Amino acid sequence: MLWLLVGAVALVAMLPLAVAVLRPARARGRAEADLALYRAQLAELDREREAGRLDAAAHAAATLEVQRRILAAPKDDAAGAGKGSAALVAAALFVVPAAAIGLYLMRGVPDMPSAPYDLRRQQAEAEEQLLTQLRARLATVPPGTEAARQGYVLLGNAERNRGRPDAAVEAWNRALAIRFEPQVAADVAEALMEQDKDAEAIPLLSRALAMQPQDIRLRFVTGVAEERAGRPANARRLWQSIVDDAPPDAPWRAMMERRIQRLP
């Protein structure tokens, strides 16, 4: 009786997928799917702000990150792969639940408890220990060398992933002091803008954009900074250049055009 119940739950869980497979097919490439996901994320952010669960600064930072991902999303070059994928998914509707039940019968541990707080704390401590080791290693690297620069970039990435933007900016700035790299400067600028430190971000973006004037990410983020600084004409010029250079089917083209239209 237990396994009948487990099987029924598995089938119910796969039901939405079955509906998606069995309904009339419609071509949807990877780029279109990515764009739909990002649009849903933007709509959800707007709802969170309207409900009062996000302040203006957090909403702006999160929206900026989603829009940056739209710009960085790869174009779809495999539009004809949908039919084969649908057949594979249809087979998975039956294979996956059966395989899952068989694997659980062989290896499952029903009485295993969920990860306790102590385990999560130990994992966090292990990550912090790795960061400490990285800092200690950096202290032994000759300053001003390429090895030191790469170490500070890694440290900044790790600090950002740990949710410590100030420490990330400090590490990245040390890397930039050794050798200025536009993409690292963009990381610093985005972290500063998330903390409403646009005045510190704009000089970094200007220098980076001078080195890589065709970089879409740099043009977009610089446009955001210019808009927030009260210079909509500069933002329009940068964003319009992105649209002008974009292919007609770019998934983020419509998003950029809407942003341009909202400028005063």
Tell me, yes or no, whether 123 and 251 share the same domain: yes
In-domain check, residue 112? no
pLDDT given at position 47: 72
Say yes or no to pLDDT of 202 above 50. yes
Of 107, 127, 142, which residue is a domain's last?
A: 107
CATH number at residue 126: 1.25.40.10
Tell me, yes or no, whether 153 and 240 share the same domain: yes
Tell me, yes or no, whether 195 and 234 share the same domain: yes
Say yes or no to pLDDT of 91 above 60. no
| 21-25, 37-41, 145-149: segment of lowest average pLDDT | 21-25
Tell me, yes or no, whether 137 and 248 share the same domain: yes
Residues 151/141, Cβ–Cβ less than 8 Å: yes
How do residues 217-247 score in pLDDT, each as one tens digit?
999 999 999 999 999 999 999 999 999 998 8
How do residues 3-25 score in pLDDT, each as one tens digit?
555 555 555 555 555 555 555 54
**200: containing domain:** 117-262
Give me the amino acid identity at 242.
I
How do residues 157-174 score in pLDDT, each as one tens digit?
888 888 889 999 999 999
Indicate whether this model's pTM tops 0.85.
no
Residue written as tokens 């050794």? 178
Tell me, yes or no, whether 164 and 76 share the same domain: no
Say yes or no to pLDDT of 214 above 50. yes
| 114-118, 152-156, 222-226: segment of lowest average pLDDT | 114-118
Distance CA 25, CA 132 (A): 53
Give me the amino acid identity at 172.
W
Question: How many independent structural domains does the chain possess?
Answer: 2
Say yes or no to pLDDT of 81 above 50. no
Tell me, yes or no, whether 33 and 88 share the same domain: yes
Give me the amino acid identity at 162.
R
Tell me, yes or no, whether 138 and 206 share the same domain: yes
